[in-house]
C-alpha cells in the first residue's frame, strides 16, 4: 500500500512540472562561492578569457518567468564560483501541463 502511495506522489510531482535548475561541475579544483547578484547571464561568448566550471540545465519554468529562471540559474551557478553563465540553447516545450521553458548552458569564471 505504501508503495502505491509513493508511486502516486511521484506521478503527481512529475505532472506538476516543477521548475528545476541542475548544475554539474566539470572543472578541476574548487572556487569560492560568488554573489548570485553578480553572476551574468550571457547569450554570446564573452571577449574575456574564462574557465568553464560546469554545465547548467533549467527546465519547467513558465514562459513568462524568464527572470525567475535566470535568477535560479544565477543562484545555483554562484555555488560553483561562477562569474557568468553562457546560455547556449533555450526553448519552450508545449506539453500536457502547459508550455514550459528550458535552457542549457555553461557556468564560467573569468580569469
What is the CA angle 25-103-97, rounded to 5? 120
Q: What is the pLDDT of residues 25-51, one digit of tens each?
A: 999 999 999 999 999 999 999 999 999
| DSSP class of 20 | E
Burial class of residue 90 (count of CB atoms within 10 Å of its CB; 0-12, 13-18, 19+) = middle
| Nearest-angstrom CA–CA distance, 37 and 35 | 5
- What's the chain's average pLDDT? 89
Grid cell in block for residue 65: 518567468
Query: Structure pTM?
Result: 0.82
Amino acid at each position: 500500500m505504501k508503495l502505491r502511495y509513493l508511486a502516486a506522489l511521484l506521478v503527481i510531482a512529475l505532472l506538476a512540472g516543477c521548475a528545476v535548475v541542475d548544475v554539474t561541475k566539470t572543472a578541476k579544483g574548487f572556487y569560492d562561492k560568488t554573489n548570485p547578484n553578480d553572476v551574468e547571464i550571457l547569450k554570446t561568448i564573452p571577449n574575456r578569457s574564462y574557465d568553464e566550471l560546469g554545465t547548467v540545465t533549467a527546465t519547467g519554468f513558465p514562459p513568462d518567468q524568464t527572470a525567475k529562471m535566470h535568477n535560479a540559474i544565477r543562484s545555483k551557478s554562484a555555488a560553483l564560483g561562477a562569474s557568468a553563465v553562457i546560455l547556449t540553447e533555450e526553448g519552450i516545450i508545449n506539453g500536457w501541463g502547459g508550455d514550459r521553458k528550458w535552457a542549457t548552458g555553461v557556468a564560467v569564471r573569468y580569469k
